Amino acid sequence: MDSVNKKNVIALSASHGVNTFYLLFITPIIPLISAELNLSYFEVGLIASVFAFANGVFQFPISFLGDYLGKWRTILVTSLMVQSIPVFFYGFAPDFMTLLFLVFLSGLGCSAYHPPAVSLLTREMPNQRGLSMAYFAGGGEVGSILTPWIVSTIAVYFSWRIASHLAIFPSIIMAVIIFILFKDSKRDERPMKQAALATFWSLTKNKPLMLLLLVSTFRITGFRGLMTFLPLLLAQQFNYEVQAIGWILSMYFIIGIITTFVVGKSSDKGEKTKYILYLTFLCSMAMGTISFVSSSTLILFPIFLIGSFLTPVPSLVLAVGTELVDEEKRASAIGLIYAVNEMGSMISPIVGGVMAELFNLQFSFLLYSGFFLVASCIAIVLDRIRVKV
């Protein structure tokens, strides 16, 4: 990898960290927002579900336009800005419905991020997909590590509203860097309707891609529930303070980034689908134990195990996904995966919130364990098909 490729990979990885910052911004301060706005478990779940819906509904159309028009840089820069501006206005939200509307707008901005970013990245290291996606995932995990610590610290010493106002700066800086380093490419010369139909049908007829899509959807559905209710679980049932929750979430992602690089490098020498299978199964086992732990110290063990097992999976999904399609359909394939992921995962916080209302919050983590178990079962079929191919 030459110096130009290295610089571009670093920039895209850093932009992933910024994107993750907005994805996770509200997570460590959910207990504060819930207390101030007097939210129920269902309303907390609705925040995550509305974000997931907005993040998924336009993923495929936007990613197709990126492929068709060749405007990957333009879409990526626009995404970074649109997802951050509503977060700035979180700090002015007077009530739950206003906050929910702003969360929806931020989710729309996030929906345009991954397809163009992954498409640009695959050009930089075409022969080392596992490693390149590990770098990309690593950048995202740096954002995951820093976000809970930064946001919770500002929220404790100032307020969660001040943290929202300050959140606009990372996107401005990153958007300028991406605009300078990258260029848009040539557009597809076919009529748009013809190109759209051809792309859609070729992707849906790709059986390994559809199985990968299902694995990824069940994976993110479990993850969405975990990130929505874990802060509340730690605060309400294990008496952790907001800043301590921020540190716990940061440690979750620190452990995850280490295993992501180890798995990413080794997966280029082996079967990536087998790694997905084993990791999602182990994650299911670890998640299930959360429902039965009663000690504030012991609860940390399954949380950190989940971080080590689950965090490498998205980069493996992206690596396999880019291997299953041609370059001109790459953004569309990634967009389709993320669209179905987000639309599927929007049910998880709502169902988890209802289960918490009916039973208790800790019990709802069995549901998320089940999602990971289903993902591992589908991964078995995917791995067998990939071996035959």
Q: Is the dihedral of CA 116, 118, 121, 122 positive or negative?
A: negative
pLDDT at 84: 93
H or E, element range at 93: none
H or E, element range at 113: none
| Integer Cα distance of 104 and 83 in angstroms | 10
H or E, element range at 271: none
pTM listed for this prediction: 0.72
| Integer Cα distance of 121 and 254 in angstroms | 23
pLDDT at 131: 66
Instruction: Note the pLDDT tens digit of each residue in 198-243.
Output: 777 888 888 999 999 999 999 989 998 898 889 989 998 899 998 8
Residues 6+ apart with CB under 8 A from 20: 140, 141, 143, 144, 147
Contact yes or no for 115/335 (Cβ under 8 A): yes
Spell out the long-range contacts of 260-263 with Cβ–Cβ below 8 A and sequence spacing 24 or more.
260/134, 260/137, 260/138, 260/141, 260/311, 260/312, 260/315, 261/134, 261/138, 262/312, 263/134, 263/312, 263/315, 263/316
| Integer Cα distance of 340 and 211 in angstroms | 12
Contact yes or no for 303/290 (Cβ under 8 A): yes
| Integer Cα distance of 315 and 311 in angstroms | 8
| Integer Cα distance of 339 and 22 in angstroms | 18
Among candidates 57, 105, 55, which has minimal Cα distance to 84? Answer: 105
Q: Is the dihedral of CA 361, 219, 15, 45 positive or negative?
A: negative
- Return the CATH number of 3-182+193-388, one of 3.40.50.720, 1.20.1250.20, 3.40.30.10, 1.10.3720.10: 1.20.1250.20
pLDDT at 389: 44
Other beta carbons within 10 angstroms of residue 259's beta carbon come to: 17
| Integer Cα distance of 72 and 4 in angstroms | 18
pLDDT at 319: 80
Other beta carbons within 10 angstroms of residue 181's beta carbon come to: 16
To which residue do tokens 């495929």 refer?
A: 60
pLDDT at 333: 81
Other beta carbons within 10 angstroms of residue 275's beta carbon come to: 22
**3-state SS class at 307:** helix
| Integer Cα distance of 210 and 73 in angstroms | 27
Give every residue of the chain whose pLDDT is below 50, as ranges: 389
* Rg, Å, the chain Cα set: 20
Instruction: Note the pLDDT tens digit of each residue in 99-155.
Output: 999 999 999 898 888 878 887 887 766 566 566 777 887 788 788 888 988 998 999
Q: Break the chain into its structural domains and give their ranges.
A: 3-182+193-388
Start-to-end CA span in the chain (Å): 29
| Integer Cα distance of 243 and 240 in angstroms | 8
| Integer Cα distance of 192 and 308 in angstroms | 43
Among candidates 295, 262, 292, which has minimal Cα distance to 365? Answer: 292
